Structure 1
Amino acid sequence: MSAAGTAPLRATPARAAGHRGRIEAVELGSRFLLVSGWVSGPEGSTPSAAISLSLADGSTHPIGRFLRRRDLAERGIAAEPCGFLLDLPRPEDAEEPLSLTLRAGVRELLTQPLAELAPRPFRPRGHLDHVSPDRLAGWAFNPAQWHGPEEEGRLELVVDGEARIPLLPNGARPDLPFSAAAGGRPLGFELGLEEIARLMAAAGHERTLLEGQHAYELLAGGHRIGALQGSSPRRGRILHRGARPAPAPQAAAPAMPTQPEPDGYIDWHGYAKGLGGWFFSGWLKGEALKGVETCRAIARFEEGTVEVEAAISPYPRQDIAGLGLGYIAFLPSMLNDPGLLEGLTIELEGERSLSPSMGIARMPEAELLGMVRTLLSATTRKPKTPLLKVLAQPAYEGEDTLAKLPAPVHLAVDSVLVAPGAGAVLMGWFLDPNSAVTAIRLRSRGKLSAPLAERWIAIERTDIKDAFSDRFSLDHARHGFLAYVEAPELDPKEMHLEVELAGGDIGFKPLPAPGGAGATAIRRMLGTIQLAPDEVVERCDRVLGPPVVALNRQRLAAAGRPSIVEVGDLPAQPRCSVIIPLYGRIDYLMYQCALFSEHGLPGDELVYVLDDPPKKAALMELAQSAWRRFGIPMRLVLLPENLGYAPANNAGLAQCRGEYVCYLNSDVMPHEPRWLDLLIGALEEDPGLGITGGLLTFEDGTVQHAGMTFKRLPQLGNFPYAMHPGKGRMRRPSLGVQRAEAVTGACMVLRRSLAEELGGFDTDYVIGDFEDADLCFRIRAKGLDCAVHEDAVLWHLERQSQGTPGNFWRHNLTLVNGWTFARRWGHLFPEAPAAETVLRLA
């Protein structure tokens, strides 16, 4: 073994660390996707790493421009430009459900199936700024113009609903946020007198068509996107422009109205948070409201639209006698602060447009319900109209009212965990001795969840049974619960429970402030439950899986930046980067370096990733000692917190320089000197191989790993789990390179370009389990094979690197990771499907 002098510790900046982001919305065109969201760098800065969006088909699309967003600054996320808008080609004939992956450098920030983002059809945007015989100006954003088809990208000016004049954008509009998605393509059009003359002649119209009294509309792909009346923009309506001022003719025609006369007016409106909706009051011309109790309604605000089935009641008003009827309407909505009201449309024998009156007011919530009840009490005699039913609902005022219900109901929520983008997890206990409760729901910002019973796991609580045994006859102790509320837009500041009895009575239960996040929240959630084999699939689908994945994404997005330390002189252009995560037994570094120095690692680099922050100082001393003893240089990636197997390896990948990458566990020791040469050589000799693994043995020489197969295990949710054929047996004579379904992450080699293209290991597998199998299957999906080289033999002290096993939560986490794997790759293992009604344990 060689010796060397002490090398200085050199800190180098981490790449792609400290970033977080979110995909907020997706709009679907026939041949494109429009994706919006945000990505922030450290401390809310504009991202410093290269940000990209990848699709499941392997295509990657860089995000080159970021927008400043006031809402991100107000929420404390980012004061610098961090918002993005990206259009990208829509994959055709996708063989699997489409998903989007957001990356900072090689680090995967998040992956979301398209279905979870609730995509909506794309609607073109635009505006008609000016129309006259000597100037035609405006803009349109419609990616169909460059993605096709041609008819969807057509831009036209329509005059009086008949004359169609084709337009072509001819200028950039950097002032528009859509220019970020347009990628430098022209969005605006600005035409002068000569250009308009040529345009109108080509369309077969006189230039005078652009003056006088006409209605002008801007259409994109047949959709109305903008119009103009004078110099005042109006969104989504046909508007009119009159002729320019001129001397009055001797017999002037009546002036054309600048806009249609409204069908009625809105005098006041207000939001009732306790009832979750908007009240409107005013009057409508005529008597079409008579006998109407519900109708379709659209309320347009400055920053949003509410379109729902409204409850409505007419009432007589003396001030408009003979002109129409007063009305009060209620529109349920969680949109409680959308800015100024622009108008209200109700459908009564056609659309009726109601405009804000000159003196319109927004009624304070404290006065709102009193005003509504006063007006309706003297005008309606039907006790069961939809509007009166709304008013009959008790309003939540921040108090626990369960004790006022006519039946005994005891409910306590001990803790609330908010999983961003998924919903909330409630943990506590519930006692309903008379079975009087029909539903418990969570209300947030006016929106009511589905009954909690649909996503509920009962838990043993003998303390509750003992406490109430003298009052009620209780035949079991499963009074504890863990309930998941699916609510992606949940507001953690405005939440309470509504408990409904069979007779219609409703009681309220305030909730404690959300507490706990990251791995602590996941442990707390999973450590309280035990699942029977026949419960695993349903519980993972409906209760455990979505919030655990969301909580894990949250903790990884909030992770700090690692420190990078170099010990010794690393090769400038290494052949291979060997990434070794350390957790618990950091002393294995010394043993590995001893063996590496004996067998040699010429031209390769070691990258140790510490996933155990309390051991940071000890590891740095150990690395210095190893360098002094064995002369093995290394790069240390020191994570600020425990992230888990996949994120730790990905952090190491971000610091690699080699042409190849070797993922190696700290408890894997080389048995002979050629192991790495053999694994890399197999990839060089066979272009059909994507990844190779070593033959791993126990200390006694028996096989631990010689490739993986997969089998569904009924006792573990019937999910497919990795099997190790030949495990525990004496190894056979070597057959060289042998194809396998997958290889273990304890020792695997692949090209760094492929690892970076795939984003490393998928971080939706929490802490550890299934990441290596998932990586292998993603490589196989690209048409490449996995193989084990039976001449590359290493010892594996299986799972000793992780230290002492955890509590029961770890078993449940394995089930959740198995659920994630089964959702993605279960179709490859059709035998004994998880949906089978008969569970066979034998």
Structure 2
Amino acid sequence: MLPDEKEHTPASRSGKAPERHPMVMEGEMVVGCPIDDTLILVLGIGGLTSEQVTVFLNGDPAMSLKVPLVSWHLKEPSPAGTHGFVAIVPTNILRRRSLKTVLFQHKAQATRYAFAGRAAAIGDLVAMVTDLAGADLPVVIDGLVEGLISGPIGRKKLSAITALLQAGARSDGCVELIGGSDEGEIFVQGWAQDLTPSVTRLLISGKTPSIAECSISVFARPDLQDQASGFAGLLLASEAVEPNDIERLLFRGRRGWRFTEVYDRRVIAGNRETPGHVRAILPRVRSSTEILLRMRSAANRFDGAETVSSLPFPVRMGIDNAYRVEGSGLLIAGWLLDPDSHVEAVKLRRHRGEAQLDGNWTRIDRPDVTRGFDNQPPFNAGLNPNRHAHGFVAFAPELEGDSTAPFYLELTLSDTRRAFMPLTPTRITSRDAVVRQIRAIDPNAWALRHIVDQQLVPLLRVVSRPAPEIFGVVDVGAFEEAEGPAIVIGVDERVEEIAPLLTLLALDPETRRAPIVIAAAAELIDRIGVHVRRLANFYGLRLRLVSASGSEDLYDALEVGARAVSTETVVFLAASLLPRNNGWFHKLLAAYHDREACVLSPTLAYEDDSIRWAGTWVAGSQSDRALISRYAGYPIDAVTGMGTTEVATATFECCVLPRDALFSVGGFTRGYLGTHEKGLDLGLKLKQSGLRSYWLPSAQMLGTDDISVSDKASTIALIERIDRQVFDSRWAKILTKDGMPSEVK
């Protein structure tokens, strides 16, 4: 590190002329210009003219190395020597020690220099070299750039190279058109004198300096002088560059470094328009076969049009549905007819993001596709009547890149050409996407299990959608004056009538004056709101209606309802449940306060008095489930007289719990189709946070299973299996004999 390096303010930024350093002119000192943490340029005057010299940092023989040197004859005489020089000196061997002196040795000659007390910025160094080199400046800059560009190039080093070239490169033509692409390549078109048809390395100067490889082709421009020609090139930068940010292209031509300025009135083509510009110029350009193939590939990029149906050989494709799940990805179902195996790859693309689909998609039988195309052009040879696996279902995680860019499928064919299928995904919830896909498949299909394991479960595992939020709040009665724990009633689409529950709460003196919250998705609140207000006014209830956005099920509704109150304790209650006996509310609260902070639930029973839920325990090794409800199906008399019991998890269809505990663990986990495993998931999260769960047998509620009345039994069974797989993937390692906390075993 040079003295005062951190305090230096570049003269080029301050607007002041750079210091000439009189001691440098007398040959006693050199000026250091740090490029990055491992490299420094050393400017001085002397008699050194070699292209390589040995340097001793701080005069230490242990810190010696050979370094490149760029020298030139001074434009004005100096008593210190005949030549100026800049050495490119690595400094990593210093190990953070200050660099105060440097000794140059070439053959028998050795010269020792001290460093000026203040380091120079690259702009100052360029100004001093310009002052000392005169007409030799382009040659000096060329040598310095060649020395810097040879090794690894970081952002600081690239900025220094760009600054050098801005000072020493000469103007050569202009860029008239710039076009982007989904693959990161940038198409440039213009004219120049010193660009040759080749693959060349150049620098992009602009908002974000970058190094790029450029495949150049040239074409005749009769409107220009004889020495100039048109060019069309494909830039592939080392990092993402936006076409609008490019100001100059800096390249090494036949006569040194040149720059091609971007014309003020240049045309900026979008990703969809660029292929058309490439196709227009392609017949006129000349270059190597490799570059022309790259140009043809660029001309054959997605421009928004569907091109699979126009292929001259037997390949056709169709999309049945494309679902975009927020916080997860895309679920795509369709068919690809390719009897002769022309298609080598199928990718989902958007902007600069891509995902290969055919590596992990699930193929399914589609005999309807076989029948529809058999003996139709270009399938005149006929299709194999025994092969129908043309369908596919594929899940792809969300792609990076411009969120406004369109999605499309890209088919890579065996002759290197590509074909495209635009996609217009439908934004839906993870549950809707999975359930719709399940309903669309024959439950007896051989591929169904693979679709579940490889497409649907991965979709649900990565769901990270935001928590449901309060959309609107309406109070009926003196809600703010109500005291005690709030009763939060969650309503979902299974509940057709809420009047019986509200009536029982109104007739029970323990709940009549309690603050009651009814929470549901906004569309459900709109449907039941008028009736609920009428009941609340009639019975004098203190009630709050909460509509939710992003609510998918009962537990989402309960979570939003809890957000709408400030009481320390809340009582969750599904709208599908009814109290079996009087006194349930008092029993729950009394048992809860006896144990301080916890989660406590009553027994849930069916209308025939058989047990639906009576505590959840960790299963034994003989069970295929990690957690089980031990008394499920027993007569309710089997638990009569039992005391309050600690369990692995409570049920959130009816429970009392600390409100803050719910939000301290992030609420309910998203990515489940039903509520059973979703409730187990929250129970385990609360258990990990230190909150115990209890079951109170003497308090009892009546209700039905959490199933959709509109789904077939096979669909319901499949939904349960998917949720079980998602749950096991998250908790299997913890729900082991050694991994589960001892108090819940």
Classify 1:706/1:488 alpha carbon distance in 2 versus 1 (closer, same or farther; 3 Å).
farther
Q: Report if aligned partners of 1:441, 1:448 keep a CA contact under 8 Å in 2.
A: no
Measured in 2, the distance between the counterparts of 1:326 and 1:805 equals: 63
Classify 1:520/1:707 alpha carbon distance in 2 versus 1 (closer, same or farther; 3 Å).
closer
How do 1:401-480 residues align onto structure 2 when only pairs under 5 Å count?
Answer: 401-405=307-311, 407-420=313-326, 422-445=328-351, 447=352, 449-469=354-374, 471-480=382-391
Counterpart for residue 652 of structure 2: 745
- Which one of the candidate residues 413, 422, 428 is aligned to 1:517? 428
Q: Per-residue CA shift, 1:492-533, capped at 9, x if unaligned?
A: 65343332233434333344x444534755543443236899
How many correspondences in the alignment?
585
Measured in 2, the distance between the counterparts of 1:458 and 1:737 equals: 52
SS in 2 for 1:564: strand
By relative contact order (CA 8 Å, sep 6+), the higher-ranking structure is 1
Counterpart for residue 504 of structure 1: 416
Normalised by the size of structure 2, how large is the TM-score?
Answer: 0.63
Measured in 1, the distance between the counterparts of 2:15 and 2:311 equals: 72
SS in 2 for 1:777: helix
Measured in 2, the distance between the counterparts of 1:809 and 1:334 equals: 47
Measured in 2, the distance between the counterparts of 1:373 and 1:601 equals: 80
- Residue 773 of structure 1 aligns with an amino acid whose one-letter code is L
Q: Per-residue CA shift, 1:776-817, capped at 9, x if unaligned?
A: 1221221222221233x2133222796554686655554554
Counterpart for residue 796 of structure 1: 702
Q: Report if aligned partners of 1:417, 1:517 keep a CA contact under 8 Å in 2.
A: yes
Measured in 2, the distance between the counterparts of 1:830 and 1:311 equals: 57
- Which one of the candidate residues 546, 559, 565 is aligned to 1:650? 559
* C-alpha deviation, 1:729, in angstroms: 1.7
Q: Percent identity?
A: 17
- Residue 651 of structure 1 aligns with an amino acid whose one-letter code is V
Counterpart for residue 615 of structure 2: 707
Classify 1:748/1:493 alpha carbon distance in 2 versus 1 (closer, same or farther; 3 Å).
same
Q: Report if aligned partners of 2:626, 2:732 keep a CA contact under 8 Å in 1.
A: no
Q: Per-residue CA shift, 1:556-581, capped at 9, x if unaligned?
A: 77x88234232x43463632111111
Q: Per-residue CA shift, 1:267-298, capped at 9, x if unaligned?
A: 325225487621347899999x99x7476x76
Counterpart for residue 663 of structure 1: 572
* C-alpha deviation, 1:387, in angstroms: 6.0
Counterpart for residue 637 of structure 1: 546
SS in 2 for 1:790: strand
Measured in 2, the distance between the counterparts of 1:627 and 1:531 equals: 49
Ranges in structure 1 where 5+ consecutive residues have no aligned partner: 1-125, 135-157, 165-221, 223-236, 245-251, 834-842
- Residue 246 of structure 2 aligns with an amino acid whose one-letter code is L
Measured in 1, the distance between the counterparts of 2:548 and 2:592 equals: 31
* C-alpha deviation, 1:693, in angstroms: 1.6
SS in 1 for 2:124: strand
* C-alpha deviation, 1:266, in angstroms: 7.5
Counterpart for residue 631 of structure 2: 726
Classify 1:548/1:336 alpha carbon distance in 2 versus 1 (closer, same or farther; 3 Å).
farther
Measured in 1, the distance between the counterparts of 2:12 and 2:410 equals: 53
SS in 1 for 2:682: helix
Q: Report if aligned partners of 2:443, 2:714 keep a CA contact under 8 Å in 1.
A: no
Measured in 1, the distance between the counterparts of 2:648 and 2:480 equals: 34
SS in 2 for 1:453: coil
Measured in 1, the distance between the counterparts of 2:402 and 2:325 equals: 9
Pick the structure with greater CA Rg: 2
Cα RMSD for the two superposed structures: 5.3
SS in 1 for 2:474: strand
Q: Is 1:690 the counterpart of 2:616 in the alignment? A: no
SS in 2 for 1:794: strand
Q: Is 1:608 the counterpart of 2:608 in the alignment? A: no
Measured in 2, the distance between the counterparts of 1:402 and 1:517 equals: 27
Classify 1:550/1:298 alpha carbon distance in 2 versus 1 (closer, same or farther; 3 Å).
farther
Moved more, 611-620 or 774-783: 611-620
- Residue 544 of structure 2 aligns with an amino acid whose one-letter code is R
Moved more, 645-654 or 539-548: 539-548
Classify 1:652/1:829 alpha carbon distance in 2 versus 1 (closer, same or farther; 3 Å).
same
Classify 1:802/1:357 alpha carbon distance in 2 versus 1 (closer, same or farther; 3 Å).
closer
Counterpart for residue 239 of structure 1: 123
Measured in 1, the distance between the counterparts of 2:642 and 2:580 equals: 17
- Residue 461 of structure 1 aligns with an amino acid whose one-letter code is R
* C-alpha deviation, 1:603, in angstroms: 6.1
* C-alpha deviation, 1:592, in angstroms: 5.4
- Which one of the candidate residues 733, 738, 743 is aligned to 1:827? 733
Counterpart for residue 776 of structure 1: 683
Q: Report if aligned partners of 1:613, 1:640 keep a CA contact under 8 Å in 2.
A: no
- Which one of the candidate residues 575, 590, 595 is aligned to 2:484? 575
How do 1:148-159 residues align onto structure 2 when only pairs under 5 Å count?
Answer: none
Classify 1:818/1:321 alpha carbon distance in 2 versus 1 (closer, same or farther; 3 Å).
farther
Q: Per-residue CA shift, 1:324-378, capped at 9, x if unaligned?
A: x999443179968552314557899xx989663678945764784268646752x
Q: Report if aligned partners of 2:346, 2:412 keep a CA contact under 8 Å in 1.
A: yes
Ranges in structure 2 where 5+ consecutive residues have no aligned partner: 1-7, 17-30, 38-95, 97-120, 142-159, 376-381, 740-745
* C-alpha deviation, 1:705, in angstroms: 1.5
Classify 1:346/1:679 alpha carbon distance in 2 versus 1 (closer, same or farther; 3 Å).
farther
* C-alpha deviation, 1:751, in angstroms: 0.9
Classify 1:821/1:548 alpha carbon distance in 2 versus 1 (closer, same or farther; 3 Å).
closer
Counterpart for residue 585 of structure 1: 495
SS in 2 for 1:604: coil
Measured in 2, the distance between the counterparts of 1:127 and 1:815 equals: 66
* C-alpha deviation, 1:468, in angstroms: 3.8
* C-alpha deviation, 1:709, in angstroms: 3.3
Normalised by the size of structure 1, how large is the TM-score?
Answer: 0.57
Counterpart for residue 114 of structure 2: none
Q: Report if aligned partners of 1:455, 1:485 keep a CA contact under 8 Å in 2.
A: no
Counterpart for residue 483 of structure 1: 394
Q: Report if aligned partners of 1:423, 1:490 keep a CA contact under 8 Å in 2.
A: no
SS in 2 for 1:483: strand
- Residue 481 of structure 1 aligns with an amino acid whose one-letter code is F
Counterpart for residue 680 of structure 1: 589
Q: Per-residue CA shift, 1:664-716, capped at 9, x if unaligned?
A: 122333344443344334443435x531222223334433212223569999x
SS in 1 for 2:490: strand
Q: Is 1:261 the counterpart of 2:187 in the alignment? A: no
Counterpart for residue 244 of structure 2: 339
- Residue 350 of structure 2 aligns with an amino acid whose one-letter code is S
Measured in 2, the distance between the counterparts of 1:463 and 1:133 equals: 75
Q: Report if aligned partners of 1:580, 1:608 keep a CA contact under 8 Å in 2.
A: yes
SS in 1 for 2:165: coil
Classify 1:503/1:677 alpha carbon distance in 2 versus 1 (closer, same or farther; 3 Å).
same
Measured in 2, the distance between the counterparts of 1:533 and 1:404 equals: 32
Measured in 1, the distance between the counterparts of 2:364 and 2:291 equals: 39
Q: Report if aligned partners of 1:711, 1:723 keep a CA contact under 8 Å in 2.
A: yes
Q: Report if aligned partners of 1:582, 1:612 keep a CA contact under 8 Å in 2.
A: no
